[in-house]
Chain A
Amino acid sequence: MEYLSSLILIAVGAAIINNFVLHYFVGVCPFIGVSRRVDMAFGMGCAVTFVITIAAFLSWVFTAFVLQPGAPLTAWVWQTFSPASDVTVDLSILNYIVYIFVIASSVQFVEMYLRKFFPPLYKSFGVYLPLITTNCAILFACLMIMKYVSGVTGPEAWDLGKALTLAIFGGVGFTIAIVMMAGIREELDHCDVPVPMRGAGITLIVAGILAMAFMGFTGVDRALANLMK
């Protein structure tokens, strides 16, 4: 029960309270770039969610078994070479490069998959699909997971379930934010926006107002935690 409630807290936290885009301001590039139409925004949100999940899964596996200080796989290799040593081997210098490697590969995979099975979506993404590679929202999710996995022991350490919950609901939060943005921008097309603010200006203003609105969720996690006690 406690595990379930912690999962719910992570999910709500990632999706709404600490929304990746509107609280941490990561992944703003597709948030502004692909939020012109709701269907495209939803597709982008789904693609990011998919990539973020794969990347989080792989990065959790690599961090937990290979990269963190005293990881089982590295420790085993080290023990076979020098059985007498009691040094903890730490490969966490490789964290960033491995994450970027993993993200780039999964984006490539998604791109090929979309090109084969959803050509219209592939076309409408255009340059933004390869740009998921450099989408900081995904690297951010990997780094969040690293924070709770690498070198952390005991009940504080996250297992795969928690990592995946963070990734999936982080992606859901991104989808919520970008779809809301696209809905607002579709309405904006019919509005008489003052000339100097047209285009990027009004979009950024809307994004800022959205972010402020999401600040209203602060504290919901504490109330939820009390509720589930």
Chain B
Amino acid sequence: MLTWVLVILAAGTMLLLALVMSLILGWANRTFHVEVDPRTEAIQEALPGANCGGCGYVGCNEYAEATAKGEAQPNLCTVGGASVATAIAGILGVAVEETWPYRAVVHCAANYDNRLGRSAYVGEPTCSAANVISGVQGCIYGCLGFGDCVLACDYDAIHMVDGLATVDYEKCVGCGACARVCPRNIISMVPFKAERMFVVACSNKDFGNDVRNVCKVGCIGCKACERVNDLLHIESNVATLNYDNYDPAKVDFSAALNKCPRESMLFVGKPSALDLAAVADEELPDRIEADFKTTADDTEWRG
């Protein structure tokens, strides 16, 4: 008897409690209701959620809110590229222009051996520090090789190869962190209209003779490429490529590549079938993993 009354009392207490609480919460839910744009949530779903900041907003959520309000274009996500842009445009009901993923391109092709006029630099081993000192290396436009961009990259997509910043296009998502941190502004974000892009890998604006004195591969502004290709122009003594009219299907860059007396033009991105065929029978060494046995860093001077 007592047990049953206890059970009924306990159940009644819980039911009463549940009733009171649900009444209060139901009232609060209606009173404190916040209108959330359903499109914001849909856009958040569509975004990759990398929170890289490549679009210029703090995170994917902020970008989603901005696009839902119409303050931002739907094609700003560099990680997602065209597919995400189309998805967002579909949610918003607007047409999207054709977009390409932006990827970082280092406009310098000189590794240690190609750089002339280098002198010993003893100090903070960062590009930003070395950049304020004159005479670290002959070329005042080129890559310094201290790896500020390597530190800035969250995706392990840029590395120092023989003193030259080299982008790993398998990993690059186009957030632009390296371009922002480079004190010499030689990294730019280029619309990758093809998996293999033709780029001018030099930023030196000096006259040809001065370039020859400081670099073995830099652009001397000879206009040889300009004569064979409409997209290439010499501006301030350095070849520049017009990416607006860049159409990988129509334009053939091999003539410009062959005409260039220096080595300041190259293809970046995925290797072509020809390139792969050329190295197919070469024995490649196994990938060497870093050996963390020593605490000494590798930032010492290499002249």
Contact = CB atoms under 8 A, between A and B. Distances in A.
A91 B10 contact: yes
B34 A77 contact: no
B17 interface: yes
Contacts of B31: 116
A74 B9 contact: yes
A87 B2 contact: yes
A116 B21 contact: no
B90 to A, nearest CB: 27
**Majority DSSP secondary structure for residues of B touching A:** helix
A109 B24 CA distance: 8
Size class of the contact patch on chain A: 20 to 34
A66 B13 CA distance: 8
A98 B17 contact: yes
A223 interface: no
Contacts of B5: 78, 81-82, 89
B284 interface: no
Contacts of A204: none
A105 B14 contact: no
Given A87-B2, A115-B32, A115-B34, A109 B9 contact: no
13 contacts: A89-B5, A91-B10, A97-B14, A101-B21, A102-B21, A105-B24, A108-B28, A109-B28, A112-B25, A115-B32, A116-B33, A116-B34, A119-B34
Interface of A: 62, 66-67, 74, 77-78, 81-82, 87, 89-91, 93-94, 97-98, 101-102, 105, 108-109, 112-113, 115-117, 119
Interface of B: 2, 5-6, 9-10, 13-14, 17-18, 21, 24-25, 28-29, 31-34
4 residue pairs, one from A and one from B, having the closest CB atoms:
A116-B32, A112-B32, A105-B21, A112-B28
